[in-house]
Amino acid sequence: MTDNSENNAQNRREFIRSSSRFALALGIGGLGGLVLNKAKAGEYVWQIDPFECTQCGRCADECVLTPSAVKCFHAFDLCGYCDLCGGYLKPGAIEMNTAAENQLCPTAAIKRNFVEEPFFEYTIDEDLCIGCAKCVEGCSSFGNGSLHLQINQDLCVNCNQCAIARMCPSDAISRVPYDDPYKVKGDFTKSKS
């Protein structure tokens, strides 16, 4: 019986030691992340100008990350909350319903939620979004243009030579201050005159 008690006591001690080491490592890692995050202040990051973007689809393929750090963002202030959303439904679909074959997004990243008759709210599941711009093109062609692409700064590794920027046919990707990293389409103070 004492052998089992000693083994249990040793197992508990090992568990406590391992847990303590893990907690210490986690704390040091978190502090390191905080220091690195503060070091970015005053630097520049890559971002897409939604007023220059032509929805070419290259953001999905050219990013060094898979899936791309480019995601669809929704400027709710511009949205018409339409039942027949051009960014959600394929144009020319045989039936205008929410079946998968009628949705424009190839990964079902756009979620449609009923608000009140005849309005719907469209949200983007960033985990599913690949930055292909199909919804952005549809919204710009048949809607208010409230969907637009942005580089998600939580995902972007901020390459010195952004692969997407090099391939962008409209030169819509440039460096912006880290303190103000998003060019939101609804913010007309940042639009080009």
**Per-residue model confidence as pLDDT tens for the chain (193 residues):** 556 666 665 666 665 666 555 555 555 555 444 444 443 667 999 999 999 999 999 999 999 999 999 999 999 999 999 888 999 998 877 777 888 888 999 999 999 999 999 999 999 999 999 999 999 999 999 888 999 999 999 999 999 999 999 999 999 999 999 999 999 887 654 444 3
Residue 53 and residue 14 share a domain: no
Residue 99 and residue 9 share a domain: no
d(CA 133, CA 60): 8
Residue 92 and residue 14 share a domain: no
* Residue 22 burial (C-beta neighbours within 10 Å; 0-12, 13-18, 19+): exposed
Residue 60 and residue 108 share a domain: yes
Residue 52 and residue 121 share a domain: yes
d(CA 105, CA 128): 10
Give how many domains the chain has, as a whole number: 2
Q: Which residue has the tokens 């469209």?
A: 122
In the prediction, which pLDDT does 171 show?
Answer: 97
In the prediction, which pLDDT does 91 show?
Answer: 84
Range of the domain at 4: 1-39
145 φ/ψ angles, rounded to the nearest 5 degrees: 80, 30
d(CA 142, CA 133): 14
Residue 102 and residue 16 share a domain: no
Its pTM stands at: 0.73
Residue 92 and residue 177 share a domain: yes
In the prediction, which pLDDT does 189 show?
Answer: 47
How far apart, in Å, are the Cα atoms of 100 and each of 84, 141, 143? Answer: 15, 21, 20
In the prediction, which pLDDT does 177 show?
Answer: 95
Residue 57 and residue 139 share a domain: yes
